Amino acid sequence: EETGVEKPAAHFFEVCTEKMKCRLEEIVFIGDSLRKDVQGACQYGMHGVWYHPKGQSDYPCIDSYEECVKHGNIYFGENLIIE
């Protein structure tokens, strides 16, 4: 509601970025909508991750948040995304 637009509008992700005070490449946006959350975040320049239990996708998928965070770093499978 705060942004006045819905995902995947770029303005939504712009407001998120401003509030987090991070660079785009430092942000991992996790969501349950492939189009609105994951593709929207990727198109804006963030890392998009699909919360899709037992899913298959060309995008990184997770069953739980804990599975992608190890020692403060973000991983998808064996690939380190963000330190």
**What mean pLDDT do residues 30-50 have?**
88
54: alpha, beta or left? (left if phi > 0; alpha if psi -120 to 50):
left
Q: What is the mean pLDDT of residues 27-33?
A: 86
Model pLDDT, residue 40: 92
Output phi, psi for 81, to 5 deg. -100, -50
DSSP letter for 56, please.
Answer: -
Is the whole model's pTM more than 0.75, yes or no?
no
Hey, what are 70's tokens? Answer: 């190890």
- Dihedral sign of CA atoms 13, 18, 19, 21 in order: positive
Give the model's pLDDT for residue 12: 92
For the chain, what is the mean pLDDT?
78
Range 1-15 average pLDDT: 88
